[in-house]
Chains A and B, each alone.
Chain A
């Protein structure tokens, strides 16, 4: 191997370390037995995990995060797949343009989306709560699902659907017996991406939940008060949940950027 290649690969490795080490440190300090998150680590313990589980707001926060995440995942998967099916029937240029427009909310800072939605919900007379959070998350979760499912459908051989239709299947029946079994892993994977995005969100949630906790809100409130390694424990759980859904999603969708 040429020396220059070795140099570039080491540089790549260094960048990976830069990308991962902050998260790795958060996880590492979640298992410290000291009261502050710093080196040297004198011993490992689950002290802060016990603290977390016994924390008064923890159960509600975990429950809310999972409720919101799963609802967003399911809704985004269904609505996004329907949209992708419609888009794949269009000329590719038009479909791409629609997808680009749908992805606009992703380009806006979450602060702007959050305050805009807050003001809008109050105007509409919606009571703030878990439902408004789910609706808000749909806005940024949907484009991901549409993009991923559309990419899969674009390479899907539509002739097998036509064959099913020729044999007398209704459009719905053709979808459920032919199309869905083929695209199912991608749909589930895209839904899990939506779950990961939803569980990690703090900003939109904090503006549209009204009151009540989620895991990121819990993290933020401990960051505002006194930071102990319990923050690391909650954060590790949070990272764990979102990375686990992302990894499953990547395995199912074979999505690679």
Chain B
């Protein structure tokens, strides 16, 4: 036991020293204030009052857009995982492989790729014009909430596929077959067996996609145009605006609201497939 404590020590130092301690300090700071470009450790609730009164529009927009992104990514991720588990046969392993490889790299490049693809002379508009579906390029594709949603759900897709697939691997063929033998149709199997049995993976994927979306500021900055995600307002508090305490209060406010939303989704999903 003592030896295992020693082995765990370096990881614990990194975790506590950089994560736990930093998070506590950061949280405490949200109750401080800034005077003459210096952080003053005086307890006050001014920052949270500001969060509740200023920029509430972007706050709500961010929660909604993140919901759209997480729903799209989880839905597509479920479809992808379901195809791997039940339909792909020998194509399954390569499909998992591609999901893992795309998860590990190219965050900036994926956003940049969507920027070039969604533009007026980008691949999507060119294709639509070549196919004769539209005559003028659709300008609204880029620099819009739509562009943010499509770019981020694409980036987050592997993050939803993998946990859902991991959960689905636990479903045995026998379970599905016995449901069928008892007369369940495809939809019945989906809602009474597949979804309930992969619930933990679905929730993990949704939570990951939702939490990563609410804090994303680069995607909106590069493809979102005039719209402002909350992260775009948080980031400058640590740069040009220099108001760390306010930035901290903003971060904790949107994070805790998101956790409540994720919990609500969890309880809603827990009802699916309950008799």
Contacts and interface: CB of A to CB of B under 8 A. Distances in A.
A246 B110 CA distance: 17
A138 interface: yes
Interface in B1-38: 3-8, 10-11, 14-15, 18-19, 21-23, 25-26, 29
Interface in B212-230: 212-218, 222
Nearest to B13: A79
Contacts of B83: 8-9, 11-12, 15
B200 to A, nearest CB: 12
A105 B16 CA distance: 11
B112 A83 contact: no
Nearest to A11: B83
B59 interface: no
Looking at chain B's contact residues, is the secondary structure mostly helix, strand, loop, or mixed?
helix
Contacts of B80: 12, 15
A80 interface: yes
B18 A138 contact: yes
Looking at chain A's contact residues, is the secondary structure mostly helix, strand, loop, or mixed?
helix
A123 B10 CA distance: 22
Interface in B169-226: 207-208, 211-218, 222
A139 interface: yes
Interface residues of A, number: 79
A203 B165 CA distance: 28
B22 A146 contact: no
B26 A119 contact: yes
A158 B59 CA distance: 52
B117 A255 contact: no
Interface string B252-274: 00010000000000000000000
A64 to B, nearest CB: 16
Interface of A: 5, 8-9, 11-12, 15-16, 18-20, 22-23, 25-26, 29, 37-39, 78-80, 82-83, 85-87, 89-90, 102, 104-112, 115-120, 123, 135-136, 138-139, 142, 146, 171, 193, 196-197, 199-203, 207, 216, 219-220, 223, 227, 231, 235, 238-239, 242-243, 245-247, 250, 255-257
